[in-house]
Chain A
Amino acid sequence: MSLEFLVASAIAVLVAGGIYLALRGRTFQVVLGLTLLSYAVNLFLFAVGRLVVDRPPLYAKGVTEHADSLPQALVLTAIVITFGMTALVVILSLRSFLESGSDQVDGVADRPADEMRP
């Protein structure tokens, strides 16, 4: 089984799981879905520089073939941004739960609010 197939199927599984979870109604599941989705995107960005092994990232003596370092820079930026975003959405959904008493994404409880409280 080739390396490309493994990476591609890993991305596919992450995206499928991410989309399924992101479409759920509860904020916790949506946050998990967004996280999976952003993992998949980061892997995908990493892979667009072509999958090669045993090549130096920037410079090594006597080596003519280098790995593409730009996707790594892109992934780094994307990771930082999605990390901050995930932290924000976690805090936001927590605050929304505390204020509205519902952890539904649209803020409308599907059951009476007092049943859902522990």
Chain B
Amino acid sequence: MNLLDHLVIAPVVIPAIVAPLTLLAMRRRRRIGVALSLAGCIAMLVAALALFGIVQDDAIRAYPLGDWPAPFGIVLVLDRLAATMLVLAAALALIVMIHAIVTAVDRKGWHFHPMFHFQLLGLNGAFLTGDLFNLFVFFEVLLIASYGLMLHGMGAARLKAGVAYVVVNIVGSALFLIALGLLYGLTGTLNMADLARSVAALGPEDQGLLRMAGLLLVAVFALKAAIAPLHLWLPRTYAATTPVVAALFAIMTKVGVYAMIRVVPLIFGDDAGAAAWVPAPWLLPAAVLTAIVGFAGVLAARAMREQAAFAILGSTGTLLLALSCWTQATTAAAVYYLVHAVLAGAALFLVADVTLRRRGQYGDATVASPRFAGQQAAGLLFLAATIAAVGLPPLSGFVAKLFILQTTFDTAPWQLIWATVLGTTLIGVIGFARSGSAIFWKAAPDGDPIACPPRARAEFVAPAMLVALLALLTIGAGWATAQSQAIAAQVFAPDRYIAAVLAGGPR
């Protein structure tokens, strides 16, 4: 095993080392800590890009920790899906980190940088792990860090939302453990590849329990992804927290969706007998409801941050519309939309942050205000981010939605999916147009321009970077769709995953 093979664990190890280092350095010199933190983000992006390059040969790599063979030891598994998610997380983290440093959000409390890196540790671990219990542990790691980040900067509103957020997630973790217990009791293993094999061999008397375990597992992922009717915690939490942190959280809800893409075709795929595709009939109505609730919230929201939170909800719904068909083509569309939705959601939050900082007492409320410094730039960025989020041409949201419409055309409920996608897009356009015209277009008839202390234009850098990434995703749409089709092909070939993970196993 040469050094390049050990690169698989780098996305977990880098934040695990960087987080305590920044904590130590911050005690002496703040600047050193910030520099370390930024360097950690860059190193992670480099490692993720290298891993992305490695998986282009279409092989699935298992990395046994401590060299224990697969069913007994814990493995990390690197395939196209994991590598793509790693790159997405690393790129988003770097941009959010730049914005946090530029806007000095990281100075509002003591432990922003260590918690940021622990969050990334949890995210990267969840993308890489090949073991369900380890998935639970990494979920907890990213949740614990997210509690800290969510409360960063304090304030009564944040604490109120925080209590509900923590309670909901603790109940979710309890349900997760019950599902794991059921699966372990049935099969005697928690390694995903081994589970996939054992589930196929289960007798008919255990099928009922297996179905229940599968549904419970997917319900937990749905809670993490904030799929209606389990979405109630999200808008409040995301609207109350610092917009910078909320931008990072844009990928956190998608971890639940990622876990579904990973677990359902692998464990509850065609081979699972009576439990095959067990969540499928539940996901479509939930997706329709989520999309409608999300975009209706965009229409009804009274502040930009609230609107961005509901847009994230709506994007999860649209994503699930494609995913819930569980065919290879629709999954490819879902993966492309996932990448786009994370970037667009984060861009919305960062634009809201920039606007919030410059409007003084008006904040991010959707009311007319006197002119403020940097109104044109913020307005343009808002226009670009909303065009992407709602799925209008020319940005990648349009391509993604077109991809979804095209691939779902062959499935049974295509009328419902088309109606939901097109209808929610219209509602979203109206919602964003309303808030955009109120904030950036209209000026309150009386009142002097809001005096804004001279601030660096660097505030616009991070949102502009996200918009640039969205533009890249549009220009490279051909390449990106080819990538997502390759990802879906790997996801829908569980035999290859099982063979790759259990190759070294003695059984």
Question: Interface of A with B (CB < 8 Å)?
Answer: 22, 27, 30, 34, 37-38, 41, 44-45, 48-50, 68, 70-71, 74, 77-78, 81-82, 84-85, 88-89, 92-93, 95-96, 99-100, 105-107
Total CB contacts across the A-B interface at under 8 A: 89
- A37 close to B171 (CB less than 8 A): yes
Q: List 24 A-B contacts (CB under 8 A).
A: A34-B171, A34-B174, A38-B174, A41-B181, A44-B181, A45-B177, A45-B184, A49-B184, A70-B184, A74-B133, A74-B180, A74-B184, A77-B133, A81-B140, A81-B173, A89-B163, A92-B159, A92-B166, A96-B163, A99-B159, A100-B160, A105-B163, A105-B167, A107-B159
Interface residues of B toward A: which range? 20 to 34
Question: Please, which residues of chain B bring their CB within 8 A of the CB of A95?
Answer: 159
Question: Please, which residues of chain B bring their CB within 8 A of the CB of A22?
Answer: 167, 171
Partner of A44, one of B140, B178, B188: B178
- A48 close to B171 (CB less than 8 A): no
Distance between A113 CB and nearest chain B CB, rounded to angstroms: 12
Q: A71 to B137, alpha carbons, bound, how many Å?
A: 15
Partner of B184, one of A34, A71, A89: A71
Distance between A17 CB and nearest chain B CB, rounded to angstroms: 14
Per DSSP, chain B at the interface is helix
- A85 close to B159 (CB less than 8 A): no
Q: A100 to B161, alpha carbons, bound, how many Å?
A: 12
- B167 close to A100 (CB less than 8 A): no
Question: Please, which residues of chain A bring their CB within 8 A of the CB of B181?
Answer: 41, 44-45, 48, 71, 74
Q: Enumerate the 7 nearest inter-chain pairs by beta-carbon distance, A residue then B residue, closest first.
A: A107-B160, A48-B185, A96-B159, A48-B181, A99-B156, A45-B181, A41-B177
Per DSSP, chain A at the interface is helix
Q: A84 to B182, alpha carbons, bound, how many Å?
A: 24
- B174 close to A30 (CB less than 8 A): no
| Among A22, A41, A93: residue with most chain B CB under 10 A | A41
Q: Would you list which residues of chain B between 97 and 111 have a CB under 8 Å from chain A? A: none
Q: A77 to B144, alpha carbons, bound, how many Å?
A: 15
Distance between A22 CB and nearest chain B CB, rounded to angstroms: 7
